[in-house]
Amino acid sequence: MNGIEFILANMLAAATPFLLAALGELVVERSGVLNLGIEGIMALGAVIAFIIVYHGGSHAVAFLGAGFAGACLSLIFGVLALGFRANQVAVGLAIGILGQGLSALIGNSYEALTVTGLSKITLPGLSSIPVIGGLFTQDAIVWLSLVATLAVWGMFRFTRLGLVIRAVGENPKAAHAIGYPVIALRYGAILFGGAMAGLAGAYAATVYTPLWADGMIAGRGWIALALVVFGTWMTGRVFFGALLFGAVSLGGLAAQAQAVPLNSQLLSSLPYIVTIVVLGIISSNRRLLKINGVASLGEPYER
């Protein structure tokens, strides 16, 4: 398998932790709330899922446990940010630190242990296509993440719920004036975002790299946050952004395998370099951000 085939075959799997977390954060930010604690929530979901699988539980139970843990941690964020109207940036950072600390504490005795990942599901006929055939051999979570992408896109594009969430994010006072429960909707969005981040962490620890190591999330939560801005709060762009970052994260491995004479640390830092460059480009386009941005993002709401 050459470098291009390797990247294509593994791109979707590498993108899945980014995509799951970014889809959850997209819904949260569309409701007008900014949760910067994704990294810590992913870490907590990762260790919970790993422990469940390590002790004989199924991957399905592990993902449910990780999603529940992520939702619970995000609920603490919601109570502080919505109930007490605390600064969302400060609370999000605190929740992120709390999640990483809890994951390190809970997973201390499981350091460097491994579990068995999921088997791959092949789409008959398509997997034998030259060069791109590897795209059609993926595990169940990758296929489900594609379904989740379509579901989030369809919700915002075609459903009343999606329209209401967007209205709450744009002008919460006007949404409240016509009878929408702004706080309840934002709580729901926060819980969904936390659960998705927990699932992203579970995938990273039990499927993509089926082991536990403190710090294994390695900035994926921050990249997921950047992806929402990179995609200008649009589901399709977030999806293609996740694919881009997945491919870039694999590019370093492919380059090392092909004996490209570049420093390994430089190759490992490629996803973060790309994040900085892309955010710089997007931020320079004020018109694009104004058209697709969320007007009340990060602002506390008072009835």
Domain boundaries, given as residue ranges, for the chain: 3-118+136-292
- Closest by CA to 221, choosing from 294, 271, 151, 185, is 271
Q: What are phi and psi of 259, to 5 degrees?
A: 60, 40
| CA dist list (Å): 159 to 147, 165, 172, 177 | 16, 10, 19, 21
Per-residue pLDDT, averaged over 18-46, amounts to 97
Residue 155 confidence (pLDDT): 97
Q: Over 60: is that where the pLDDT of 1 sits?
A: no
Q: How far apart are CA 285 and CA 142, in angstroms?
A: 32
Span 158-170, pLDDT tens digits: 999 999 999 999 9
Span 128-149, pLDDT tens digits: 788 788 899 999 999 999 999 9
Which tokens sit at 134? 């590897």
Span 95-137, pLDDT tens digits: 999 999 999 999 999 999 999 999 999 888 888 788 788 899 9
Span 234-289, pLDDT tens digits: 999 999 999 988 888 887 676 666 666 667 677 677 777 887 887 777 767 777 77
Which residues, at least 6 apart from 153, have a Cβ–Cβ distance to it below 8 Å? 235, 236
Residue 130 confidence (pLDDT): 81
Which numeric CATH code is attached to 3-118+136-292?
Answer: 1.10.3470.10
Instruction: Please check whether residue 221 is in contact with residue 194, taking contact to mean a CB–CB distance below 8 angstroms.
Output: no
Q: How far apart are CA 267 and CA 254, in angstroms?
A: 10
Instruction: Please check whether residue 170 is in contact with residue 41, taking contact to mean a CB–CB distance below 8 angstroms.
Output: no
Q: Over 90: is that where the pLDDT of 199 sits?
A: yes
Which of 66-70, 230-234, 283-287, 295-299 shows the highest mean pLDDT? 66-70
Q: Provide the mean pLDDT of the chain.
A: 91
For the chain, percent of residues with pLDDT exceeding 90: 71
Instruction: Please check whether residue 19 is in contact with residue 149, taking contact to mean a CB–CB distance below 8 angstroms.
Output: yes
